[in-house]
């Protein structure tokens, strides 16, 4: 038996097919991954993401510390109530994790990190925070839900009393707010509008029931993966790992090279990669019949690469992938599926956003 | 678990089913248990009619949202038809695994070739065993 989130019994009652995910027993789907995928694109779905790590950082030098720790620059969070996506790097530029950092107060920040890396992240951060007199608290007392889809905002709003509802509806993309014991952020991992809500574990069951009553559909890890793939979003362990820098993983846009005087862990390595990266991450659309999967060999006019994620894209009715290929590769490539070379072409990601295809099929 | 297994079919340990047709040929598909375990089916690759298959030979591929799985021919013979509807509606495999989701029809080389298949009781026992 693996680790359980506070909603484990609820998932069982909702007839979830449970799978092991990084040591956690989590829902793969509740009957049909495809139905859950479409529900999020067309209406609203709720994901239990309580396996993810929440780290609260505080201290008068917290901003200075985070500016040295993260590849993106928290100085962009000019006031409390905003979030920022960033990689956390090793000295050699390898990606330790990708995360969202929220500024909650003048000197208080919240990091939401991946489940599989949370222990490593906490230790890495604590080891460096001490010198800045920044405290690092792991919030295992919190549960985390992601409510996603075009109807998510209204569904969450109806659960709040009027003054808090106003605040929620006023939140822009990547903004956040503490409303009573709940922390709400207008972020997600699906390419749709929605919120991620951190709240005391003892309150999550009631929130889940309220969302269900508001017509929000439970969605599992399967749909979470196909939604993020269509949205062109990286998954740690697939597109991202310690062996590759953010440039080779399509995340150059998340590295703040300016101001040049800001020193952050991994800076020298990513600057070198920026001027001469051997690899790039691209989106692929399969042009023949079949299904792309991860770790398939991709042949381009510049040499060989590999798919990092692949699958069926329900919104497109086609198969897509993300792949790491030699820098400068041309549009036409071939992918080896079960010993056979099939044609694919590179496309700009995201493949899908806000319910609509963004690529020519 | 799954409902009662159709008792007019035979089954394999790799979760295919075999239906004997009036002309003596057989129809092949995957069981309800198999489609549930695979999840939503999104792609099916079937053999061309005329292809000769040996018992136990990989003759088709079904791909779900999760993974690709080989289908092994339970019998030896010549493929006389494959289910063209699955090219555009692979979800038939989930919706009607014993009916509209059939995969292919095969003219048998040898009527004795069906030996070694399980009947409904035998397959039910296999499923019970796998669950434990």
pLDDT tens readout for residues A232-253? 999 999 999 999 999 999 999 9
- CA angle at A105 for the pair A100 and A111, rounded to the nearest 5°: 20
In angstroms, the separation between the Cα of residue A87 and the nearest Cα of chain B is: 28
Question: What are the chain A neighbours of B61 within 8 Å (beta carbons)?
Answer: 338
Question: What are the chain B neighbours of A222 within 8 Å (beta carbons)?
Answer: 39, 65-66
- Chain A residue with the nearest C-alpha to that of B43: A290
Say which CATH superfamily domain A1-221 falls into.
Probable tRNA modification gtpase trme; domain 1 (3.30.1360.120)
| Mean pLDDT across A158-165 | 95
Q: Which residue has the higher pLDDT, A47 or B110?
A: A47
In angstroms, the separation between the Cα of residue B12 and the nearest Cα of chain A is: 24
- Selecting from A34, A289, A293 the residue whose C-beta is nearest the C-beta of B40 gives A34
Residue A297 main-chain phi, psi, to 5 deg: -80, 130
**Model pLDDT, residue B1:** 43
- What is the CATH topology of the domain spanning B10-105? OB fold (Dihydrolipoamide Acetyltransferase, E2P) (2.40.50)
Task: List, as ranges, residues 58-97 from B with C-beta within 8 Å of A.
Answer: 61, 63, 65-68, 87, 91, 94
Is B65 in contact with A34 (Cβ distance < 8 A)? yes
Whether chain A has a CB inside 8 Å of the CB on B40: the answer is yes
d(CA A135, CA A120): 17
A209-226 pLDDT, tens digit each? 999 999 999 999 999 999
In angstroms, the separation between the Cα of residue A56 and the nearest Cα of chain B is: 35
d(CA A123, CA A109): 17
Is A289 in contact with B65 (Cβ distance < 8 A)? no
- H helix intervals, A81-176: 118-129, 152-157, 162-169
d(CA A96, CA A110): 17
Stated pTM of the model: 0.95
A82-132 pLDDT, tens digit each? 999 999 999 999 999 999 999 999 999 999 999 999 999 999 999 999 999
- Give the A:B interface size as CB pairs under 8 Å: 39
- Chain B residue with the nearest C-alpha to that of A223: B65
Cα A278 → chain centroid:
25
Domain parsing of chain A, residue ranges = 1-221, 230-357
A295-352 pLDDT, tens digit each? 999 999 999 999 999 999 999 999 999 999 999 999 999 999 999 999 999 999 999 9
Integer Rg of chain B from CA: 14
Question: What are the chain A neighbours of B67 within 8 Å (beta carbons)?
Answer: 293
A27-51 pLDDT, tens digit each? 999 999 999 999 999 999 999 999 9
Is A290 in contact with B42 (Cβ distance < 8 A)? no
- Selecting from B43, B87, B94 the residue whose C-beta is nearest the C-beta of A291 gives B43
- What is the CATH topology of the domain spanning A230-357? Elongation Factor Tu (Ef-tu); domain 3 (2.40.30)
Sheet of B10-11: strands edge to edge? B10-11, B16-20, B26-30, B104-108, B77-82, B52-53
Domain parsing of chain B, residue ranges = 10-105
Whether chain B has a CB inside 8 Å of the CB on A33: the answer is yes
């Amino acid at each position: 038996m693996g680790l359980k989130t506070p909603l484990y019994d609820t998932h069982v009652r909702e007839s979830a097919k449970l799978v092991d995910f990084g040591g956690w027993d989590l829902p793969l789907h509740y009957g049909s991954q495809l139905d859950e995928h479409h529900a999020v694109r067309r209406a609203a779905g709720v994901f239990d993401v309580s396996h993810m790590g929440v780290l609260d950082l505080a201290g008068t030098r917290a901003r200075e510390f985070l500016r040295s720790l993260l590849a993106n620059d928290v100085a962009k969070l000019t006031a409390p109530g905003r979030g920022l996506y960033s990689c956390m790097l090793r000295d050699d530029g390898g990606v330790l994790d990708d995360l969202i950092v929220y500024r909650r107060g003048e000197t208080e920040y919240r990091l939401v990190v991946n489940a599989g890396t949370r222990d490593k992240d906490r230790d890495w951060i604590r080891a460096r925070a001490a010198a800045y007199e920044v405290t690092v608290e792991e919030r295992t007392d919190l549960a985390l839900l992601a409510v996603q889809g075009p109807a998510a905002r209204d569904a969450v709003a109806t659960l709040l009393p009027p003054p808090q509802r106003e605040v929620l509806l006023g939140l822009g993309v990547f903004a956040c707010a503490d409303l009573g014991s709940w922390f709400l952020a207008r972020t997600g991992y699906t390419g749709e509008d929605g919120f991620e809500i951190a709240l005391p574990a003892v309150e999550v069951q009631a929130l889940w029931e309220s969302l269900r009553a508001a017509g929000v559909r439970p969605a599992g890890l399967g749909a979470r993966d196909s939604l993020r793939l269509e949205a062109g979003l990286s998954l740690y362990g697939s597109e991202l790992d310690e062996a590759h820098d953010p440039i080779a993983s399509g995340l150059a846009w998340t590295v703040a090279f300016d101001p040049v005087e800001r020193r952050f862990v991994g800076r020298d390595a990513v600057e070198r990669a920026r001027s001469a990266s051997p690899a790039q991450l691209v989106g692929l659309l399969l042009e023949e019949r079949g299904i792309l999967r991860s770790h398939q060999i991709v042949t381009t006019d510049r040499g060989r690469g590999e798919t990092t994620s692949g699958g069926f894209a329900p919104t497109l009715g086609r198969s897509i992938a993300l792949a790491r290929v030699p820098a400068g590769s041309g549009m036409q490539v071939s992918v080896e599926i079960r010993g056979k070379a099939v044609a694919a072409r590179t496309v700009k990601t995201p493949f899908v956003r806000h319910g609509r295809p963004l690529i020519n099929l | 678990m799954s409902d009662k297994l159709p008792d007019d079919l035979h089954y394999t340990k790799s979760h295919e089913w075999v239906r004997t047709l009036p002309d003596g040929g057989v129809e092949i598909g995957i069981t309800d248990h198999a489609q549930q375990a695979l999840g939503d089916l999104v792609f099916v690759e079937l053999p061309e009619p005329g292809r000769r298959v040996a018992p136990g030979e990989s003759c088709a591929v079904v791909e779900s949202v999760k993974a690709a799985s080989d289908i092994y021919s339970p019998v030896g013979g010549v493929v006389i038809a494959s289910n063209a509807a699955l090219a555009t509606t692979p979800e038939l495999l989930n919706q009607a695994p014993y009916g509209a989701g059939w995969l292919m029809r095969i003219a048998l080389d040898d009527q004795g070739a069906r030996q070694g298949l399980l009947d409904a009781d035998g397959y039910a026992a296999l499923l019970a065993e796998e669950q434990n």
